[in-house]
Amino acid sequence: MPVTAAESAAYRLEGYLPGRPLLTEAEATRYRDACIRTCGEPMKDGVHRQASNRVKPYILYPWAAELVRNPRILDAVEALIGPDILTFHTTVWFKDANSPNFVPWHQDATYFGLAPFEHVTAWVALTPSTPENGCVRILPRSHTNGQRGHRDERDQRAMLSRGQTVTDPIDDAAGVDLLMRPGDVSFHHTLAMHRSAPNRSDAPRIGVGVSYIPPHVAHIGKTRLSATLVRGTDRFGHFDPEPRPTADADPAAVAAHADALGRFWVASESIPEMAHIH
């Protein structure tokens, strides 16, 4: 299902595209099973809220490396940001059944340190995503207000790296639930405000958020980061290339992942909010 010119215009206006079926049922099932096998049990380092095996898994696991390179997803991304595409970041969003964990209202751009603001997130549903199990809820046109101020949320149930929570008052009633079936993929702008509620269902809710950027986008911090070219050409070299894994968590993949993730944590924890930079 290609993204049409009208849909690209709607994305620029609204800040998101709702879920569309880009993976087959068999693909979604295979990725879900692989995700549960490799990321179902979180690997915590005792420091960060997010489990290390659920962050940048495309460096660790062949299934995730295949997913971020899926041609149907990349066709949609190309319609939104152009033919040259880097995967900058990826997070597995795993909400256990009856989990109280939630994602507060936030903008993805807040601590990524990327400029200009041209990053798009592809949110890949590997299970149904509904209001009951805590689907993404997005605020249309909120990306037009620029980077907003955030605070760090102390509540450990907040699933973001620093619990980043927008400080602006939000009219939750104006939000739109992104209802998705397994294999559906939605897209949202890096400045689009969104959240997700706890999972009140008896089954896990699993999704993968993939951050794509055009190669002219750069990290403004002092730490040099890594990224993966998944389509086209990188004529800018703002990021060190990341190797593709050949087996689940083999020694070379583990070493590359530790290096990439270590740099990312240093950068994301030391950079000030983008609201104070732009």
Give the pLDDT of residue 115.
95
Pair 261, 90: CB distance under 8 Å: no
Q: What pLDDT shows up at residue 227?
A: 98
Q: How far is CA 116 from CA 16, 34, 69, 277, 278, in A?
A: 18, 34, 23, 11, 10
Q: Where are the domains of the chain?
A: 5-40+48-276
| pLDDT number for residue 155 | 63
Q: What is the mean pLDDT of each run of 10 residues along the chain (278 residues)?
A: 91 97 97 96 65 93 98 98 97 90 84 93 97 94 86 65 72 94 98 90 95 97 95 98 96 96 86 48
State the pLDDT at residue 101: 81
Among 221, 211, 217, which residue's Cα sits nearest to residue 271? 221
* Cβ-based neighbours of 117, under 8 Å, separated by 6 or more: 109, 147, 189, 190, 191, 278
Q: What 8-state DSSP symbol labels residue 247?
A: S
> Residue 221 and residue 202: Cα distance in Å, rounded?
42
Architecture of domain 5-40+48-276: Sandwich (2.60)
Which residue's structure tokens are 């070379």? 252
Residue 114: CA count within 13 A, CB half-sphere: 29
